[in-house]
Amino acid sequence: MATVTLTADNFDDVAQSDGIVLVDFWAAWCGPCRRFAPVFEKAAEKHSDIVFGKVDTEDQPELSERFGISSIPTLMAIRDGVIVFAEPGALPDAVLENVIEQVRGLDMEDVRRRLKS
């Protein structure tokens, strides 16, 4: 599956959907972002059941500000509308795959229960 360009106009619709959404906050001038891009694209092709979205922080500064993105690339994982992971840094293939498997394995009822307490 190809990646989806996320903007202030479509971010909430995509992020609030059921399932997993991985978001790459990036910028064209960022060397680590350019190195992470093929890793992200490869994972998008491999995991067709996951939405892979990209936020260009130069084009969408309001989204960066909204989520407190201060370093790029930053990977955010959202499952069933809940942000379950957000961390800066260009991840290697194996680490990204590990994040995906951990997000898949989450007990979302437990996550929601913990958020309420």
Examine the residue annotation and report whether 69 is marked as an active-site residue of this protein: no
**Torsional sign, CA 14, 46, 83, 24:** negative
Q: Is 33 a catalytic residue?
A: yes
- Helix H, strand E, coil C: the string for 60-104 is CHHHHHHCCCCCCCEEEEEECCEEEEEEECCCCHHHHHHHHHHHH
In whole angstroms, give the CA distance from residue 101 to residue 93: 12
Among candidate residues 30, 76, 90, 100, the one labeled active-site is 30
With vertex at residue 39, the alpha carbon angle to CA 96 and CA 54, rounded to the nearest 5 degrees, is 90
Residue among 6, 22, 33, 90 flagged as catalytic: 33
- Catalytically active residues are 30, 33
